[in-house]
Chain A
């Protein structure tokens, strides 16, 4: 296990992003319509309070991250990246490709990236789980899951 304890670490980058995000949002808030309405009538009155508090806390957090030499356990990033990317593709594919096809694809990618290598078991599980949910919701509970754009069957 290697340790990363330098100033430019995952911790400090996250802390910095958490400080810059509310600053950017606060600047955006000032440009909103009706932002100049007085006090509690202004739509940005309450969000601005939350953002100012967030900035103050993020500054404290950044300071404390800089002072603390905390150890960061590295994650097997390739596996997280594959599954994280799989999440995004899955979410984007559900509407055009339908629930069944996109779920089968996601399950296969997820299982293989998590170290499951028996092709029949992986394929069987990847088909059986989405198919059973598809049948349950579409034909028993009568709550239709998204269909693909090329066939009405799935």
Chain B
């Protein structure tokens, strides 16, 4: 990786490369600030604009949108008490009360500095941890890969919102959808029902855009739409003074550590990290009595943790090909669109592009400070835009995105169907992230399982003999899967007794 650093720098340190980072981050902040869009939809909306770009700028644009949108969510959380992204929900607790006290600019200042620190530390974690993990995984055979994917999937399902059964069902649905099309070993068509257009399978991005973006439009349409939210007077971002940081450094670093740690675990997500970090800050802060009344520690805890997740989530994504969350699942699909095969050989095969991604991600997080100051003020009036216009715009952008992935009209039908089915399932509490992760990991899971069985003459029991890494990974997967139901069972039992 180090040998290719000069070439990676050449990709970034050009006028085009820097413009991509600046505009991508600024656009990410604006999209993140608009309630209802969220990081996944923001990345999906911008995807078609990257199709004419080279690999590195295209992926960096999407990374800039990702990091920018996670930070941008705090703008609406503070100014209108509506988180732009779910990750910023915990920021409302103290950000909005500060705005009510006439300190909206200062609240955004705390959130910006915490986001920048969280993002930079997570980028450093990514740069050092991902190559180590990838190097370790390079020695894996099909049985170890099967165990690894199984672990990734169970982690994702067991921590997803809703019940474990519903999460697992969505995971199975995702795996099944990934099986539609040509069989990777015999080439036989599966579940295409005679339609030749399905031989290549369902387009992952069409399904992702459907279940996240189009179903969100229907979810919003099914709820009461806010015409325009009340917004407090905001004259610009005010950075906290050094003296105001006294006694808060520990909370900041602890929140960053929580965010990075949770980010590395597949499937946990930034929203979970922000709430855990907020709860920990509330427990341990000397100012705990002020939480919920406009306490800066609350904003710092939430924003440092959710931005620290971004780099952490990219560790399993880039090193192992296991997406950390729904956004990184879209990223993985995007890599494929740009001709890069995700998986354990990603870093080995594409050192220059991956190096550029690492450096670019660090620069993006540094850029959050000046761009946050600039864009938060200019984007604030957009928060007054009535929601119906945003919903119509999201739909049109999504259709453009789906069309451009392959230029296949069938993808439009797939996206719309996924949107309607996703809406029905989401109303019943089914999480959508496991479905997408199942679709992403399904093909690798299938190939590694079938290759492993062919190697062992069809004896699954031999997966446990002579493969200690696989045994450990499968044991952790079993614990991850059983932990939540056992814990819930224990709580019920305790209530009964």
Q: Which residue of B lies closest to A121 (CB)?
A: B389
Task: Kindly report which residue of chain A lies nearest to residue B389, judged by CB atoms.
Answer: A125
Given contacts A46-B449, A91-B399, A145-B400, contact A114 B176 (CB under 8 A): no
B-contact bits for A115-139, CB 8 A (1 contact / 0 none): 1100000000110011001000100
With both beta carbons as reference points, the residue of chain B lying nearest to A82 in the complex is identified as B221
B31 → chain A, closest Cβ, in Å?
15
**B214 contacts partner chain A, Cβ-Cβ < 8 Å:** yes
Interface residues of A, dominant DSSP? helix
B420 touches A39 (CB 8 A): no
CB atoms of A141 and B225 under 8 A apart: no
Query: How far is it, in angstroms, between the C-alpha of A20 and the C-alpha of B404 when the chains are bound?
Result: 35
Shortest B166–chain A CB gap in Å is 7
Distance between Cα atoms of A90 and B176 in the complex (Å): 27
CB distance from B158 to the nearest CB of A (A): 14
Could you mark each residue 48-74 of chain A with 1 if its beta carbon is under 8 Å from any beta carbon of chain B, else 0?
001101100110110010000000100
Encoded as 1 (CB less than 8 Å from any A CB) or 0, chain B from 395 to 427 comes to 111011001100001001101100110011101
| Interface pair B425/A129, CB less than 8 Å apart | no
Contact A125 B392 (CB under 8 A): yes
Option from A32, A38, A90 in Cβ contact (under 8 Å) with B188:
A32
Q: Smallest CB-CB separation from B409: which chain A residue?
A: A95
Q: Is the CB of B172 within 8 A of A103?
A: no
Task: Find chain A residues with CB under 8 A from B135 CB.
Answer: none
Structural contact, A115 and B388, CB atoms closer than 8 A: yes
| B51–A84 touching, CB < 8 Å | no
**Which of B63-71, B178-186, B327-335, B359-367 participates in binding chain A?**
B178-186
The dominant DSSP class at the B interface is: helix
Chain A residues positioned under 8 Å from B214 (CB to CB): 87
Question: Which residues of A lie under 8 Å from residue B163 when comparing CB positions?
Answer: 64
Report the tally of A-B residue pairs with Cβ distances under 8 A: 165
Partner of B191, one of A47, A64, A125, A142: A47
Kindly state whether residue A111 has any CB partner on chain B within 8 Å.
Answer: yes
The chain A residue sitting closest to B449, CB to CB, is A46
Q: Given A40-B450, A79-B222, A110-B392, A53–B415 Cβ distance below 8 Å?
A: no
- Residue of B190, B400, B450, B454 near A32 (CB, 8 A) is B190
Q: Is the CB of A41 within 8 A of B186?
A: yes
> When the two chains form the complex, which single residue of B395, B423, B449 contacts A106, counting CB atoms closer than 8 Å?
B395
Kindly name the residue among B400, B420, B442 whose own CB sees the greatest number of chain A CB atoms within 10 A.
B400
Chain A residues whose CB sits within 8 angstroms of the CB of B188 once the complex forms: 32-34, 43
In the complex, are the beta carbons of A99 and B454 less than 8 A apart?
no
> B172: which A residues are within 8 A, CB to CB?
22, 50-51, 53-54, 57
The residue from B176, B221, B412, B415 contacting A51, defined by CB atoms under 8 A apart: B176
Residue of A nearest to B190 (CB): A43
- A145-B419 contact in complex given A25-B191, A95-B409, A116-B386, C-beta closer than 8 Å: no
Most buried by A among B185, B214, B222, B396: B396
Beta-carbon contact of A34 and B52 below 8 Å: no
**Does A37 lie within 8 Å of B186, measured CB to CB?**
yes
Q: Does any Cβ of A come within 8 Å of B49's Cβ? A: yes
Question: Are B396 and A107 in contact (CB-based, < 8 A)?
Answer: yes
Taking the nearest CB of chain B, how far is it from the CB of A22, in angstroms? 7
Candidate in B214, B391, B399, B404 with the most chain A CB atoms within 10 angstroms? B399
Q: Are A43 and B186 in contact (CB under 8 A)?
A: yes
Given contacts A14-B425, A54-B172, contact A106 B458 (CB under 8 A): no
Per the bound structure, the CA–CA distance linking A19 and B110 in Å amounts to 49
Instruction: Indicate whether A143 sits within 8 Å of B169 (C-beta atoms), given known contacts A46-B446, A111-B389, A116-B386.
Output: no
Question: When A41-B186, A84-B423 are in contact, do A46 and B179 touch as well, CB less than 8 Å?
Answer: yes
Q: Are B409 and A54 in contact (CB-based, < 8 A)?
A: no
A94–B395 alpha-carbon span in the complex (Å): 13
Q: How far is the CA of A62 from the CA of B446 in the complex (A)?
A: 28
Which 5 residue pairs spanning A and B have beta carbons closest together? Answer: A75-B222, A43-B183, A114-B388, A40-B453, A54-B172
Residues in chain B within 8 A of chain A (CB atoms): 48-49, 51-52, 163, 165-166, 168-169, 172-173, 175-176, 179, 183, 185-186, 188, 190-191, 214, 217-218, 221-223, 225, 386-389, 391-393, 395-397, 399-400, 403-404, 409, 412-413, 415-416, 419-420, 423-425, 427-428, 442, 445-446, 449-450, 453-454, 458
A-B pairs with beta carbons under 8 Å apart, 14 shown: A10-B427, A25-B191, A32-B190, A39-B458, A43-B183, A44-B190, A51-B176, A53-B168, A72-B427, A80-B221, A106-B396, A114-B221, A125-B392, A143-B52
